[in-house]
């Protein structure tokens, strides 16, 4: 996709593999689909461990489930932070570009005003 705004070009067209991966993970982890899938897995895990007397791989208080959550959080948090930092950089770049455009427009308006009123800068 060809973007024209300089902030969008750097944000989307010039992304590294790591940038694309962080964005994809953040998009998935921050979705209802992820929440529903994770909820289904947790509910199934608990039901199976409470119901199956002989197949209890993680009996109450579900320490293995807790370890899985801890591991997931240990990986998800820095990846989400990477995506957040990229978004902050994008917002900062976009604001800087908008400021430059506004300054150029202000200069043009002053020129037009000078020509209309007969007063030069």
The DSSP secondary structure of 29-42, one letter per residue, reads: HTSHHHHHHHHHHH
Q: How confident is the model at residue 7 (pLDDT cuts 50, 70, 90)?
A: low
Confidence band (pLDDT; 50, 70, 90) for 14? confident
**Average pLDDT of the chain to the nearest whole number:** 87
Pick the most confident of 5-19, 45-59, 94-108: 94-108
Please compute, for residue 41, the number of CA atoms within 13 A of its CA located in the half-sphere on the CB side. 10
Q: In which band, very low, low, confident or very high, does the pLDDT at 12 lie, cut at 50, 70 and 90? A: low
- Please compute the mean of the pLDDT values over residues 78-104 and round it to a whole number: 90
Inform me whether the pLDDT recorded for 48 exceeds 60: yes
pTM, two decimals, is: 0.65
DSSP letter (8 states) at residue 12: I
7 near 94, Cβ under 8 Å?
A: yes
> Could you state, in order of their start, the residue ranges of all structural domains in the chain?
6-117
Of 8, 22, 3, give the one whose Cα is nearest residue 84.
22
Helix count and strand count (H, E) for the chain: 4, 0
What is the rounded distance in angstroms from the CA atom of residue 16 to the CA atom of residue 91? 18
Q: Does the bond joining 61 to the residue before it have cis omega, within 30 degrees of 0? A: yes
Question: What pLDDT, on the 0 to 100 scale, is given for residue 74?
Answer: 95
Q: What is the pLDDT of residue 101?
A: 92
pLDDT band for 3, please (50, 70, 90 cuts): low
What whole-number distance in Å separates Cα of residue 83 and Cα of residue 81? 5
């Amino acid at each position: 996709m060809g973007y024209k705004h300089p902030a969008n070009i750097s944000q989307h067209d010039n992304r590294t593999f790591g940038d694309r991966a962080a964005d994809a993970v953040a998009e998935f982890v921050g979705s209802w689909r992820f929440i529903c899938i994770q909820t289904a897995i947790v509910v199934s895990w608990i039901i199976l461990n409470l119901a199956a007397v002989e197949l209890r791989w993680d009996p109450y208080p579900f320490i293995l489930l807790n370890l899985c959550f801890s591991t997931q959080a240990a990986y998800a948090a820095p990846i989400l932070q990477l995506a957040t930092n990229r978004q902050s950089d994008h917002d900062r770049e976009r604001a800087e570009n908008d400021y430059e455009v506004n300054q150029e427009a202000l200069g043009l308006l002053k020129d037009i005003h000078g020509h209309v009123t007969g007063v030069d800068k």
